Amino acid sequence: MNEAVRLETRAAADSRSAGGVLTIDLGALAQNYRRLCARSAPAPVAAVVKADAYGLGAARVVPVLHEAGCRDFFVAHLVEAVRLKPYLPADARLYVLNGLLPGGERLCADLGAIPVLNSLDQIRAWSRLAAALGKPLVAALQVDTGMARLGLSFDEMELLAADPAPLAGITLRLIMSHLACADEPELEANPRQLAVLHAASGLFPGVPVSFANSGGVFLGADYHGDLARPGVALYGGTANPAEPPMQPVVRLDVRVIQTRTVPAGTAVGYGGTHVTERETRIATLSAGYADGLPRSLGNRGAAYWGGIRLPILGRVSMDSLMVDVSALAPDALPPGARVELIGAHQTLEAIAADADTISYEILTRLGQRYHRQYKNPETRIGTSGQRQA
Ligand SMILES: *Cc1c(COP(=O)(O)O)cnc(C)c1O
């Protein structure tokens, strides 16, 4: 058997052995990228692919976005840059948002990754390395404009502009900052942050500016700067509640292990936190919190089958959860049947709301036990001679 056939056979086997199927639509990903590009034009659009492209697989996501024209990619941790580097096309730039932890400078330089320098200490360390290597090193510089998370204060930016000696040997490719409330367009915090960024970037004329995350792209041209930097909207998350939703990228179906009918008064799951009020038909599904379904969905969330809501009964277990399938015909869900957790009837945002969290957390926790199926992989480069739109 050749390698391709062996892998295909293995993939088919995985889909039977896994408790659920996670379908990732790379065509929808590319569509979302193009929509963000249209919205932020003429500013080009980078892609934030930290946390393994929000759980979807950076090695699969990066080539698709590159094919769509993306040349700037952001991860958060240096270790992510190390892992992503083999999949990064040669003409793409890779930024590390969290910058440099002591001892990581040489590795970052050897990788050719661009650190986002967040403090004077990080600047000094990068400058020292440039001197030691006898060549200039590229970096982005972050200013904290109102989030108190990462970056130099405005005062530090002023000091640095007045005396740029710490930047010796450093070529600044970007000045950047991050919005704290971009998904709440009406808040005054947004223009306030923008004003600080303008003042700070004005101290370094000629250096391109990057500000907008997904929400920022929809805040208008003032926020686009020279390079937008969305993450979640690429992956189908909502960036601005007033805008039409992005194309859904993720679909999650999990399998039924077993069904049973129990009488009224039956306690369901750990702690017996649900007690049936009437005769109830229960299906046990093969996914739990170890697969990234938050425990907070217990007695709150639901699965769907053919558009019918199947409420979650009791607590979510590590490897399974129970749903009420009394609304379905008794033979509707034989063992192995799939029900929808994320899809046409329950959006990513809806399950996140039921779990009292945000789409980002649902995505980045999607488990490793699902069978992962990538749709439209033909848009990837390097796999075959032919491409489809
Ligand atoms: C995560 C992150 C982004 C992307 O944010 P989204 O809200 O997912 O678009 C952009 N910039 C920085 C600094 C980030 O940490």
What CATH number does the domain containing 144 carry? 3.20.20.10
Residues 197 and 335 in one domain: no
Per-residue tokens: 238: 């909502």
Which residue among the candidates 50, 223, 235, 374 is catalytic per the annotation? 50
Lowest mean pLDDT among 203-217, 312-326, 375-389: 375-389
The boundaries of the domain holding residue 133 are: 42-235
* Distance of alpha carbon 45 from alpha carbon 37, whole angstroms: 6
pLDDT tens column, 46-65: 999 999 999 999 999 999 99
pLDDT band, residue 387 (cuts 50/70/90): very low
Out of 235, 261, 277, a domain closes at 235
Q: Is residue 25 in some structural domain?
A: no
The residue whose C-alpha atom lies closest to atom 3 belonging to ligand 1 is: 213
> What's the rounded mean pLDDT across residues 305-323?
98
The residue whose C-alpha atom lies closest to atom 4 belonging to ligand 1 is: 231
* Distance of alpha carbon 181 from alpha carbon 383, whole angstroms: 40
Quote the pLDDT of residue 385: 36
Quote the pLDDT of residue 388: 38
Q: Is 229 in the pocket of ligand 1 (CB under 6 A)?
A: yes
pLDDT at 2 over 80: no
Quote the pLDDT of residue 111: 97
pLDDT at 326 over 70: yes
> What's the rounded mean pLDDT across residues 74-96?
97
Quote the pLDDT of residue 381: 46
pTM of the predicted structure, to 2 decimals: 0.94
Q: Is 151 in the pocket of ligand 1 (CB under 6 A)?
A: no
Q: Is residue 30 in some structural domain?
A: no
Lowest mean pLDDT among 10-14, 235-239, 323-327: 10-14
pLDDT band, residue 389 (cuts 50/70/90): very low
Phi, psi of 34 (to 5 degrees): -65, -35
Nearest-atom number in ligand 1 for the CA of 150 is: 13
Per-residue tokens: 331: 């033979």
Average pLDDT of the chain? 94
Positive or negative: CA dihedral 348, 224, 220, 28: negative
Q: Is residue 277 in some structural domain?
A: yes
Nearest-atom number in ligand 1 for the CA of 213 is: 9
Residues 264 and 320 in one domain: yes
Quote the pLDDT of residue 226: 98
Contact 51, 83 (CB under 8 A): no
Q: Is residue 79 in some structural domain?
A: yes
Q: Which residues contact 294 (CB under 8 A, 6 or more apart)?
A: 316, 355, 356, 357, 361, 362, 365
Indicate the number of domains in the chain.
2
Residues 124 and 269 in one domain: no
pLDDT at 357 over 90: yes
For residue 19, the one-letter residue type is G
Task: Let me know how long the chain is.
Answer: 389
Quote the pLDDT of residue 14: 78
pLDDT at 328 over 70: yes
Residues 100 and 191 in one domain: yes
Q: Is residue 28 in some structural domain?
A: no
pLDDT band, residue 260 (cuts 50/70/90): very high
> What's the rounded mean pLDDT across residues 115-128?
98
The residue whose C-alpha atom lies closest to atom 6 belonging to ligand 1 is: 231
To the nearest whole percent, how much of the chain has pLDDT over 70?
95
pLDDT at 256 over 60: yes
pLDDT at 231 over 60: yes
> What's the rounded mean pLDDT across residues 136-161?
98
Is 270 considered catalytic here? yes
Quote the pLDDT of residue 17: 92
Q: Is residue 110 in some structural domain?
A: yes
Residues 259 and 160 in one domain: no
Ligand 1: centre distance to CA 48 (Å): 6
Residues 47 and 167 in one domain: yes
Q: Is 6 exposed, middle or buried (0-12, 13-18, 19+ CB in 10 A)?
A: exposed
Q: How many C-beta atoms surround the C-beta of residue 385 within 10 A?
A: 4
Q: The CATH number of the domain where 315 resides is what?
A: 2.40.37.10
> What's the rounded mean pLDDT across residues 147-174?
98
